[in-house]
Amino acid sequence: MVSAEGIVRDNEKTLELLHRGDNEKLFAVQIFVSDPATAAKAVRKLTVHRPDLFDLNCGCSVPKVLKGGCGAALLRVPYKITAILQAMREETERPVTVKLRSGWDQNSINYLDCAGAAEQGGAAMVCLHPRTRSQGFSGRARLDDLRVLKMHCTVPVIGSGDLFSPVDALKMFQASNCDGIMYARGALGNPFIFTATKKLLRGAREAAPASARLRLETALQQLRHTVELMGEQRACKEMRKHFCYYSKGITGGAELRALAVRARSIEDYENLVERFLHQDSFT
Ligand SMILES: Cc1cc2nc3c(=O)[nH]c(=O)nc-3n(C[C@H](O)[C@H](O)[C@H](O)COP(=O)(O)O)c2cc1C
């Protein structure tokens, strides 16, 4: 997710977010924006990065984003969703899609109107996180909204919300008949969830959770990639929270987390993992 304003102004931090990994076969850019003219300019500028797909964010509930009339604020003005998508589509041949929440708050659930507005604007796909903006991440995702949306939409519908395991994904498919699912919190410290889900959906038995060794070695690999991107100091700080995610559910994970939040170098992390995997000398 990048700010369309940031793209138009060549903001350095915004451009940094467009980094594409060598192994990323498909590359989608989601913008947050409040008006069609800025959206069009941003898409025009983004074309040099050759995204396979552009997405419009109508779900973000971060106050700074909402204050600019972007993200979930667009749910209150569905006609703007149509206009922004039309403006984006005029600048690209690539598919333009949209990510919605169920509505602004409990008294204004309007995902069907918003999805209709998106279809009118030419959206090629609609993703729904079936919570309201005021819910943030609280309460449960409203799976029934997804089912109803799927019945009304003429374009593919992707479901998001409370997906923490392959079984959750299977249940979402079954309950809503949606065309795809999108992991979020469930993938933090758990990139194995994608392969495990594909396997389950193809009829295999549910996979055993990844071992502590695999999780921690993957965390180190992520750390090394992050160092390449932003240098050792910043990467080590950024990775603290990810080490916490990776160690969730591992026996002895609490001690590991307590030490990871003080790690300042790749060496600190490597020593930590090495010692953890040879528990005798840990702590
Ligand atoms: C760390 C984090 C980053 C997210 N970033 C985005 C984003 O850039 N764009 C977006 O549309 N949603 C974003 N989301 C929202 C998720 O796509 C998703 O709709 C929401 O977290 C609900 O799914 P979950 O309950 O399975 O986490 C983010 C969520 C998390 C936790």
Same domain for 153 and 225? no
CATH number, domain of 222, equals 1.10.1200
Same domain for 39 and 153? yes
Q: Does the model's pTM come out above 0.75?
A: yes
With respect to residue 234, please indicate whether it lies within any of the assigned structural domains.
Answer: yes
CA–CA–CA angle 257, 243, 277 (5° rounding): 75
Last residue of one domain, picked from the residues 100, 133, 162: 162
What pLDDT score was predicted for residue 283? Answer: 47
Same domain for 149 and 10? yes
User: For residue 131, which atom of ligand 1 is closest to its CA?
Assistant: 22
Which residues span the domain enclosing 217? 212-281
164 closest CA partner among 145, 136, 132, 137: 137
Distance 138 CA to ligand 1 centre (A): 13
Long-range pairs for 12-19 at CB < 8 Å and ≥24 separation?
A: 18/46, 18/49, 19/229
With respect to residue 24, please indicate whether it lies within any of the assigned structural domains.
Answer: yes
By the 8 A CB rule, do 215 and 221 touch? no
With respect to residue 99, please indicate whether it lies within any of the assigned structural domains.
Answer: yes
With respect to residue 104, please indicate whether it lies within any of the assigned structural domains.
Answer: yes
Please report which helix (H) or strand (E) contains residue 30, including its range.
Answer: strand 28-32
Same domain for 26 and 145? yes
With respect to residue 193, please indicate whether it lies within any of the assigned structural domains.
Answer: no
Count of domains for the chain: 2
153 is annotated as an active-site residue:
no
Q: What are the per-10-residue average pLDDT scores of the chain (283 residues)?
A: 98 94 92 98 96 98 97 98 98 98 97 98 98 95 97 98 97 98 97 96 89 95 94 95 92 88 94 85 50
Same domain for 127 and 223? no
Kindly give, in sequence order, each residue whose CB lies less than 8 Å from that of residue 245, ignoring residues fewer than 6 positions away.
188, 189, 190
CA distances from residue 59 to 43, 46, 131, 135, 277 in whole angstroms, order as listed = 19, 21, 9, 11, 40
User: For residue 163, which atom of ligand 1 is closest to its CA?
Assistant: 26
The residue contributing the CA closest to ligand 1 atom 6 is 1
* Residue 99 CB–ligand 1 contact under 6 Å: yes
The residue contributing the CA closest to ligand 1 atom 15 is 184
Last residue of one domain, picked from the residues 162, 179, 201: 162
Same domain for 11 and 137? yes
CATH number, domain of 119, equals 3.20.20.70
The residue contributing the CA closest to ligand 1 atom 23 is 161
* Residue 1 CB–ligand 1 contact under 6 Å: yes
With respect to residue 200, please indicate whether it lies within any of the assigned structural domains.
Answer: no
Structural tokens at position 141: 């995702």
What pLDDT score was predicted for residue 274? Answer: 93
Same domain for 158 and 268? no
With respect to residue 78, please indicate whether it lies within any of the assigned structural domains.
Answer: yes
Cα 107 from Cα 243, distance rounded (Å) = 39
* Three-class DSSP category at 157: strand
User: For residue 59, which atom of ligand 1 is closest to its CA?
Assistant: 11
Same domain for 82 and 154? yes
Same domain for 6 and 125? yes
Q: In the beta sheet, which residues pair with residue 98?
A: 56, 126
- Tally of helices (H runs) and strands (E runs) in the chain: 13, 7
Total count of residues recorded for the chain = 283
Same domain for 10 and 128? yes
What pLDDT score was predicted for residue 147? Answer: 98
184 closest CA partner among 101, 273, 106: 101
Unique residue bearing structure tokens 């924006």? 33
Same domain for 149 and 238? no
By the 8 A CB rule, do 180 and 201 touch? no
Same domain for 15 and 148? yes
With respect to residue 197, please indicate whether it lies within any of the assigned structural domains.
Answer: no
Last residue of one domain, picked from the residues 99, 129, 162: 162
Characterise 223 by phi-psi region: left (phi > 0), alpha (psi -120 to 50), beta (else): alpha
